[in-house]
Amino acid sequence: MTARGGPGLPQERRLVTAIPGPRSVELLTRRTDAVARGVSIAFPVFIEAAGGGVVVDVDGNSLIDFGSGIAVVSIGNAADQVVAAVSEQVAAFTHTCFMVTPYEGYVAVCEQLNSRTPGEFAKKSALFNSGAEAVENSVKIARAFTGRAAVVVFDHAYHGRTNLTMALTAKNMPYKQSFGPFAPEVYRLPMAYPYRWPTGPENCGSEAAAAAISAMKTQIGVDNIAAVLIEPIQGEGGFIVPGKGFLPALSQFCTDNGIVFIADEIQTGFGRTGAMFASSDEGVVPDLITTAKGIAGGLPLAGVTGRAEIMDAPHVGGLGGTYGGNPVACAAALGAIETIEQQDLVGAARRIGEIMLPALRDLQSRHPVIGDVRGRGAMVAVELVKPGTKDADPAAASAVAAFCHREGVLVLTAGTYGNVLRFLPPLVMPEHLLEEALTVLDKAFASLGG
Ligand code: PLZ
């Protein structure tokens, strides 16, 4: 029988076998034989259905989902409006290629992006398949607009796995090792990382901005810089919320010097941080914004949105791709955006933060391995260190994640040093499951001992 997911699934943590159970173990063996080992696995169970705040595995275990497929199913898996919109579209037509014969859904998604992203000016959008593809295209567009080549990125940044986006991504292992040479004209500057800023978090934003601006002037040359590209809260790099003032100062410097300021909101966008877009937290209005993940309820779709004159810089035919803005993915996006609005999931993300951040700070007061608690809305994390120091403790992060997994809570790790546990619940996560997962987390930290 086909498993049915969606919001109607019982919202409960239910363990009926060991994790992984026997059917998952069987499938894991087939996976090992059939799938290239480079494609890794965070939580070794196979999924049969998912919805609301849970994923159900092939052995009948119901697990609390604190990952959302890496910040994708913010509206919940198999959400009603996505299922309905996709079903209708798939029965009508599945593909024409927007560059061959267009269809309304693509235009409607662009209109939504143009009106919902920060900035009260004329905007345009273009659609792609993945976050990395959106980031690459944002750089192409910025280069075409400015006639300049250099791109500025930051320590701990993550922007994708294609050749250009590997160059833009900071961390070597596992993303870049043995895959070079990388694209040129990429310059990496220090990140405003409050927890690890040498003179303290209160000085971080302004000092980091001054350092970045000085490096742009002296080492790169302002007139050579096409774009400054940054995640308003860094995702894979460890949920680093930049020190206050950093983003506004960079954005202002870009405006003053004809540099395109690009916010990579692929992980932070569509309500995740308790605002539709994280840039708006400090009133920053990017010239271009990249989106993906939360935009389409799990279907592959990504976008670049921004000032019309910048978006229109590339020549006719200069942007595109066979599948970019596929009609089924566009239908899903329209359903997802409607769901975010109708269910006030931006407000739901804020409430998740209001529950989780104090709860995690309480854990921090009892478990000295937690060096830092940070994040906004439903994008929160703890950074684990050797107690009494700031030395990264990736082993503790792995141990806590493994404990949670055995107890039926899906959590993910992150961070340049692999020592961050990150929490990305669907924004529809019921409060009782949020509380239950936090209790499991407390036990997981207690199990570390010492
Ligand atoms: N920019 C800010 O978070 C994707 C990567 C998972 P794609 N993050 C998850 C992995 O290990 O591959 C991401 C992101 C930010 C760009 C991307 C890239 O998006 O859709 O994975 O290409």
pLDDT in tens, 30-45: 999 999 999 999 999 9
pLDDT at 3 over 60: no
How would residue 105 be classed by pLDDT, with cut points 50, 70 and 90?
very high
Residue bearing the CA closest to ligand 1, atom 16: 159
Calculate how far, in angstroms, residue 256's C-alpha sits from the geometric centre of ligand 1: 30
Q: What's the mean pLDDT in 255-282?
A: 98
pLDDT at 450 over 70: no
pLDDT at 356 over 50: yes
Query: What pLDDT does residue 1 have?
Result: 40
pLDDT at 2 over 90: no
Question: Which of 113-117, 348-352, 445-449 is the least confident region?
Answer: 445-449
Query: What pLDDT does residue 449 have?
Result: 79
Residues 6 or more apart in contact with residue 182 via CB below 8 angstroms: 163, 166, 167, 176
Helices (H), 117-231: 131-146, 163-168, 201-215
Q: What's the mean pLDDT in 48-66?
A: 98
pTM confidence score: 0.98
266 lines ligand 1 (CB under 6 A): yes
Calculate how far, in angstroms, residue 14's C-alpha sits from the geometric centre of ligand 1: 30
Burial track 262-301 (b if 16+ CB lie within 10 A, e otherwise): bbbbbbbbbbbbbbbbbbbbbebbbbbbbbbbbbbbbbbb
Among the atoms of ligand 1, which is closest to the Cα of residue 135?
16
Q: Residues 370-425: pLDDT tens digits?
A: 999 999 999 999 999 999 999 999 999 999 999 999 999 999 999 999 999 999 99
The interaxial angle of helices 246-257 and 201-215, nearest 10 deg, is 20
Q: What's the mean pLDDT in 88-98?
A: 98
Q: What's the mean pLDDT in 99-107?
A: 98
Mean pLDDT value across the chain? 97
